[in-house]
Amino acid sequence: MYPEELKYSESHEWARVEDNVVAVGLTHHAQSELGDMVYLELPPEGTEVTAGGEFGVVESVKAASDLYAPLSGKIVEVNQGAADDPALVNRDCYGEGWLVKIELKDPSELENLKTAAEYQEFIGA
């Protein structure tokens, strides 16, 4: 349920490192708590984000929630498929339902994120 190769933030985003680019998405815990996704607002490519800063909004049948960047850098790709069909996040949060890809500004920020085991402990899973 929480892939070991990913890193996790306390704001419930995951990060998959691919060289100097990090794919970011919502964790299983976050998408299950929010329920069926109905709207996803993502920033345009080229947007600079800061670790812990807002980068978008997700709305579900239950609530609206801000999305927070787990790492600092520049958004180099946006998942338009998820923006067009937010339910992708519910169906495949670690695969097709990724949100953005960020070119890392400071790789040492990865040390601030949790491992799968630490994240599961954090959420009480």
Number of domains in the chain: 1
Q: What are the pLDDT digits (tens) for 60-91?
A: 999 999 999 999 999 999 999 999 999 999 99
CATH classification at residue 64? 2.40.50.100
Angstrom CA distances, 97 to 25, 50, 53, 105, stand at: 7, 22, 21, 24
> Could you tell me how many helices (H) and strands (E) the chain has, helices first?
4, 9
Q: Specify the pTM.
A: 0.95
124 inside domain: no
In a domain, 113, yes or no: no
Nearest Cα residue to 123 out of 19, 37, 20, 1: 1
Across residues 90-114, what is the average pLDDT?
Answer: 96
Tell me whether residue 21 is in a domain.
Answer: yes
Establish if 122 belongs to a structural domain.
no
pLDDT for the residue numbered 1 = 83
30 within some domain: yes
Residue 125 lies inside a defined structural domain of this protein: no
Query: Domain for residue 49, yes or no?
Result: yes
The parent domain of residue 34 ranges over: 7-105
121 in a structural domain:
no
The per-residue pLDDT for range 32-55, each reduced to its tens digit, is 999 999 999 999 999 999 999 999
